[in-house]
Structure 1
Amino acid sequence: MEHHLAASAERADYLVELSNVVRQTSIGPRGPRSLRRLGLVLRALMELTGDPDVSVYLVADTSLLGGHREFGDPDEVRRLRRWVADGLVEEVGDADERILELARMTGTRVVTGDQYVDHRGEHPWIQGNTWQFLRPEPRPDQRVALVPMDMGVRTEAEISRRMELSALKKQGLLGPSRTPLTDVIMRAWSCPEPRCTLYDLHRGDRILLPRIRRGVPTCELHGVRLTDVGVRPAGAQLKVVIDGGCVARYTLDEGSEAYVGRLPGPEGIALHSLLSPEIAARVSRRHVAVSARGGTVLCRDVSSYGTRMRHAGRRGGPGPWEKLPPGADRPFRPGDEVELAPGVVLTRSGRRFPAELADAWRAEAARTPVPPTAAAPTRRV
């Protein structure tokens, strides 16, 4: 296989996410990991291109060799280590990000089975892409076919959910069957190092989730055990979208309620400076009340003109508009939209309250079955 491996992405005909291919149990031999699956992909590329010398650039996560015991053949492990040492495999912490960076810069097609949903915020060019990604699929004759993937278009809320799940995985915060360790996630933590602010809710600008090492919440920087300091405070973000563009963002804290409207008062969210006179005349002074209670966000119509709402659809598109009954609290989830007037929409960002996160992660895990031959994830990273 070596003569097919390019030493740089610029010299390669295709990019291959090696970690994904080696772990794809639907092709090739049995077992969690096998380098023979790369051989099947290379044969498929030769058939696809008609080029017996087709070249590929391989990118792999460091975790691929980190789980060397899952290879059925020790010779494959030695061979893979030699490729890394010879510069024929680029070994990185996050192969997804590196593959996408190279694909964007070079325009080279990618062999992978990943939809990269959690990377679409940073790489919007993936949305709707129908030609650049090839998925290996088994053929009846035990060989492999490379099928173009329609990457589709995912909503902001769906992208955010997958980003959250990916972040948990990297921190070792997914337990068996991809369920989140909510007993860790919903707590606040502190590092015993006095100057460390990575987990400090009052001093830190960017509050991290703890990393689980050997079953223990651990500081990312200092490697010491973190101290549990209580329940993690909740927070949600609201966005005002006018004519399709986000013009303002606001933070809603647990236990608070805010009125949104033309001029709702000092404790509310005033929109008058963002609206044209014609549209402002169709928005009540207090149009909707948005509250955060018990880890969920609620919306209530208090207007004189009426309010419509639509929920984010499971398949990516929005659901139908429905008129909100006056005075009734309705759940307001990430991706939902509340229309105050034509072109004036209040929506939620993908950031969730801890209780919503737990529900979303459980739902995501239920929709993502673990392959029968895959080992259950562990907490050790």
Structure 2
Amino acid sequence: MRFEVSKVFDAIEQRLSTDPAAARAVIDLAEVVRYVDLDGGRPASMLRLGMVIDALGRTVAEENVPVYLVVHKGLLSDADLTSNERMVARRWADDGLAEVLPNPADRVLEVADLLGLPVLSRNRFDGLAGRYPWLTAQSGRLMAPLPGAGGPVLVARVGNAPAPAVADPSPVGAKLLARLWRCPDPECSSFGSMRIGRPGGQPPPTLRTGSPTCPRHDQRLADGGPRPTAEVLAVRIDGAVRQRFVVAGDQPVFVGRAPEQGGGITLGQWLTEEARRWISRSHVRFELRGTELVAQDVSTNGTGIRPGGSLNDDDRITLKRQARPLAPTDFVELYPGVQIGRARNWTSGGVVNPASVMAEAPTMAMRTLDR
């Protein structure tokens, strides 16, 4: 059972991101772990985070939907969690996959405000609508995870939005995200020199003190210069969005059947046998050159470009070891029905049954044992 639970935590870990370009919702872990009515189990369980992440995936009809996780510092020593759960939470914090803070409630709303993200919470945040008007003005920005017949469901606290709503970053958030920031602590997992991942993935600073500040170390941040440009792309297979990924100005991304390059996007698990034979291990390379998104064919069979999203085969352009800048509505076609384009152009997920992070969860771990 312990091995199965560890596999669930590994699966959940793949859905955590403090990258502003990747995260799709903000969650307070200390709140979610105590949603006992989701499984009828023990007082606190980190497996409930996986259940809420699955609910988000089902609601937006996509797979591999990342969340921005904020963790109360006290949770790392909470006796209601197992020692393994506390260890996992500390690892996520040390790896920059979650923010650990003494007072996460304010940070949850601040991140959501700065980035334009929805919040998944049962907390109504009474009295805070003055600071964050979207709490009561925008349906879908605050979604409550509640028990449902087939697992947790997300219910809008305001209005009747069927899915979490996303807004543009606030004006202040846009300014913060245009810069890189450096924490005085060089080992800071969010703003230190050892930041996990590329610099473009830095989370937003907190403005609690009036100046850009590290939320973990409560120290003022230094301006590290312009942040590398970034584009969010989506993989769409047979009309269903299977994965989103970020191309930043400081690191190209390879996409294919099973790229050998680190950080590559693997499509093999979603492909038909015929598509697997046609698509190369590393098929296309995406990079940003200044503000231009460029696709370069690195495959055996070539890469198609659909200008303006045209489905007319007469308009299709085939690249053979060539590179081409992509216009805002162009998309790349590796094989009929296997497409990659800017995520903002494809709003519907189309995945009826997204893969669950809870697939390996043992049933016994979700119930209270009689003594």
Whether the TM-score (by the shorter chain) exceeds 0.5 is no
Bin of the TM-score, shorter chain as denominator length = 0.3 to 0.5
TM-score by length of 1: 0.38
TM-score between the two structures when normalised by the length of structure 2: 0.39
Give the greater-gyration-radius structure (CA). 1
